[in-house]
Amino acid sequence: MQHHAHKVVFLDRFAIRATLRPLRFDHTWVEYPTTAPEDVIERLAGATIALTNRVRFDASVLAELPALRLIAVAATGYECIDIEACRAAGVTVCNVRDWSTPAVAEHTFAMILALRRELLEYRAAVAAGEWAQSHFYGLLRDPLPPGLAGASLAIIGYGALGRRLATLGEAFGMTVLIADHKGAAPRAGRVSFVEALARADVLCVACPKLPQTTNLVGAAELASMKPTAVVINTARGGIVDEAALAAALRDGRIAGAGVDSLSEEPPRHGNPLLDIDAPNLIVTPHMAFASDHTLAALAEQLLGNVEAFVAGTPRNVVT
Catalytically active residues are: 236, 265, 286
CB 28 within 8 A of CB 49: no
* Exposure string for 269-287, b = 16+ CB within 10 A, e = fewer: eebbbeeeeebbbbbeebe
Question: How far out from the chain centre does Cα 114 lie?
Answer: 19
**Amino acid identity, position 296:** A
Alpha-carbon gap, residue 62 to 94, rounded angstroms: 16
Q: Are strands 175-179 and 202-205 parallel, antiparallel or unpaired?
A: unpaired
- Which helix (H) or strand (E) segment holds residue 247: the answer is helix 242-250
What are the DSSP E strand ranges found in the chain?
Answer: 6-10, 27-31, 49-52, 70-73, 92-94, 152-156, 175-179, 202-205, 230-233, 256-259, 281-283
